[in-house]
Structure 1
């Protein structure tokens, strides 16, 4: 009986520890977030969890790279700003950025165009947590070697990654908080180096054979629910602040009056990618995928999954 009581209190202690640590990390990300002013004429596309790899059998992004590239071309031509909210590069399975860049060079050169026009905003997640270090960014992302010219040329000069971004409306002062979401996942935030080692040493080879990594919340439904619950508790404690995350790979789009927890999904769904658009003061959840025409031709199409909803419908006093 005594053992059962002690176990009960231990479980409660662990629960409150995770809750408090999640709150502390999310508070810090919000406090230190980059603020981007916007208005109803502004246009943003939010993608996360691209997990761009080296184009090997373990590269989950490779299956959707044509869909992603086509979608990003569309948003570039339409004047959108691109917010990548974590895990853009797969730096757990891969030792460095170089093989990833070589595998998906066309993607990075397109992102370079966004960056040159100050339309690229980057957040680091647990799989690219090395981007917390500005020296690492400057060393690896600033330039790339062009074999035609035989010299290094600019890539993402002076680019910065953030733990959080706040989109703040110029007129209404409404705020939207963007972060990866692994702050509510204590293991993958605090012990990410251990997880990275396990992925490189064990799960990457097994992934090639079709065995999923059980440490990923996207593959562990019980852990996914816990992460969402901790994030929602933080949102509730912060006056139902619109919060947009990734990490779990599960798209979420609440109705006005519900907890304002949004998730843009991922770019590694089977044969599709999902994201969140902000345009005309409205927010939408969208999907891009490959479809066929009546004549059997393949085409990449965009479909609306949820919304659009006016951002002001979620504003609380």
Structure 2
């Protein structure tokens, strides 16, 4: 199956979420939440991420995670990740209880395509203090893709991880997971990158983006937002509408995409220093906002 066919299948089977100009979404991907070991790239940014997530919860945003939220290639199970970042999952649970949580699986958490696995591992957790099982993400569903559909204009925004355009990480993800666990995780501690990852291999990144752009052109310039490459993208109106929200494992910062008031923006959260030496987490607008309606499909 070609990358175009995989993307088309994901679009056909996507979960549909209606929205309008009053809706608010924050899109993050590639958190790669790990076990807080030396190989956990998310650990350096966890306080930034938690602060940003808390902001979006209080401001009434829906949270969309575009895959690779949990690092289940390097780590054998979800339990160790949950224990390392328990406060984050408890905050995500609050989104879930209010039906404001929309989760997509990527290649590093592709096991979440199995509903039985999700139910067994994510529905509840054991709390040693109370010696009881407590609910976590009961009845949660992970999907390969989401379509945000505007209630009035019928404009669609296609959200997916993007690894459909990366044949190795989609078709051979189990082999990739094996290699990461036995080879690249130990080497990562010493700063040696996995050459099969498009986030670490520029040539693979360009190839993947080219395949998705080709698919967008075939599908009437559908707005498409992905992750996977870790490289933020924000095209101008009139360009091929391929967006990328970046990742949450940039050095000292996280990036994401906001959709609010019928507009789209690329943002960054990072730690800044005030003149009196105080450290604080701040939000920075990188690109936009641009009106979604300006990204018009071909007539």
Provide the TM-score with structure 1 as the length reference: 0.93
Separation in 2 of the partners of 1:246 and 1:46? Answer: 10
2:79 to 98, 106, 117: 98
Give the structure 1 partner of residue 254 of structure 2.
273
Give the Å deviation of 1:146: 1.2
Give the structure 1 partner of residue 95 of structure 2.
114
Equivalent positions of 1:1-317 (< 5 A) are 21-316=2-297, 317=299
What per-residue deviation string (whole Å, max 9, x for no partner) do you get for residues 76-97 of structure 1? 0000000000000000000000
Separation in 2 of the partners of 1:169 and 1:292? Answer: 40
Separation in 1 of the partners of 2:121 and 2:48? Answer: 26
Structure 2 gaps of 5+ residues are none
Separation in 2 of the partners of 1:183 and 1:302? Answer: 31
Separation in 1 of the partners of 2:183 and 2:235? Answer: 37
Separation in 1 of the partners of 2:43 and 2:271? Answer: 14
**Partner SS state of residue 159, structure 2:** strand
Give the alignment's Cα RMSD to 1 decimal.
0.6
Separation in 1 of the partners of 2:246 and 2:191? Answer: 21
**Partner SS state of residue 26, structure 1:** helix
What per-residue deviation string (whole Å, max 9, x for no partner) do you get for residues 177-209 of structure 1? 000000000000000011100000000000011
Separation in 2 of the partners of 1:227 and 1:301? Answer: 32
- Between Structure 1 and Structure 2, the one with more helix by share is 1
**Partner SS state of residue 212, structure 1:** coil
**Partner SS state of residue 2, structure 2:** helix
**Partner SS state of residue 287, structure 1:** strand
Give the structure 2 partner of residue 5 of structure 1.
none
**Partner SS state of residue 251, structure 1:** coil
Give the Å deviation of 1:173: 0.3
Provide the TM-score with structure 2 as the length reference: 0.99
Count the aligned residue pairs: 298
Separation in 2 of the partners of 1:101 and 1:306? Answer: 33
Separation in 1 of the partners of 2:132 and 2:229? Answer: 40
What per-residue deviation string (whole Å, max 9, x for no partner) do you get for residues 227-247 of structure 1? 000000000100100000000
Give the Å deviation of 1:315: 1.8
Give the Å deviation of 1:148: 2.0
**Partner SS state of residue 36, structure 1:** strand
